[in-house]
Structure 1
Amino acid sequence: MQFYAAAGVVDRGAKPADYPFIRADAVLGAVFACIISLTIIIATISAVGGTGPLDSAAQAAEALKPVAGRNAELLFAVGLIGASALAGAVVPLSASYAIGEAAGVERSVSRSFRDAPLFLGLFTAQIVLGATVAMTPVDVIQLLIGTQVLQGLISPIVLVYLLVLTNRRSVLGQAANSPRYRIAATAVVVGVAAMSTILLVQTILSWFGLA
């Protein structure tokens, strides 16, 4: 998501005069996303809390029956499709943007395959791979847990890397973080890194029955 947000600004052709609006959009978007996440967590605790760990999507849908009744499966399916559609676009685009930028090749969703073969090729391949995995009998819940463990390893590294870059005036000039933003961003990065580390440790310990 971090790479996607930054690359999306470039892909839209934003100019320095647009930076205040882009920053406001990023801040408001982050706040709104956190509100939605908290709402999901609270709703999940209310509906599923106390039923024990869920091992499959079917169990998650079943846990919603006391709240949604006979439409529980349909409700869960609609929510899952919405989340999958978002992730199916953002995750492949993020990876394609990052690899395309590292390779120094054309990277834009407005380009054709002829103009940006690596970028659009990677994007298409990831969608096909995701669809293929989804059609296999893989345990989706365990797959999600595994990706969270991977995120716990990668997120702190990526966030520190981005923080260093956004603080450098030699890279961003006047658009670099001000002292106030540096303090706020550092506090957020430290907090997110700590929570990611805790989640990572708890998940690994649970695999060995220690948590």
Structure 2
Amino acid sequence: MMLSQIVRPLVDTQIRRLASSQTTYSTLVETIAKWLSYLGVKARVTHLANQSGQIQVSLTVDKPNTCASDDWQQILHNLEGQKSVSSLSAYNQIVPSQRSKLQRLFAYLIQTSQPDHKTNLNVITNKLNKLNLDEFMLLGIRSALRVPQSIDRLIKEIDPDVVALALPQAVEIALSDRQLNREAETAIFAMLKAAKSGAKSY
């Protein structure tokens, strides 16, 4: 069972608790830190504000328990002097052959999470729009959707760091309907295993 299938009902319960709380600020500070802890992230909320119908949050994040000290220090070092980089530019830095495999991987996840994808173009469009990818990437995914994809072959051929980069959006695709079928679950676990098998910076 995917962690999200356990966490999501718990989060729903906590949301209802927040709605009825008389100490919303302090309760939300505690709750957000708890949500992140489910992922093994140690964080402290330093600021909350209601802004245009959304909650603006500032955090300080400590080294996760599962993160090696050398890796954490390298992350901190890499952050110094760097500006924020969007996921779009990160994908654009992937070599073309790997980018093609990534497009096929996203296509496979859409195929497995939406069995009638060939006839439900609205569902496909909604899933693709949520990925926040450039048009070149989207065209490749649409093309890959026309033929069956093999997760076993893709996982063997794709670079572990490319898999790691794609994991958040892969999970978003798989859970976009708040359901997870066996094929999509198998694919996500295969991606997790592949992402842990190696590391190289793009």
Report if TM-score (shorter chain) is over 0.5. no
Q: TM-score range by the shorter chain?
A: under 0.3
Could you tell me the TM-score, scaled by structure 2's length?
0.25
Q: Which has the larger radius of gyration?
A: 1
Structure with more strand by fraction:
2
Using structure 1 for the length normalisation, give the TM-score: 0.25
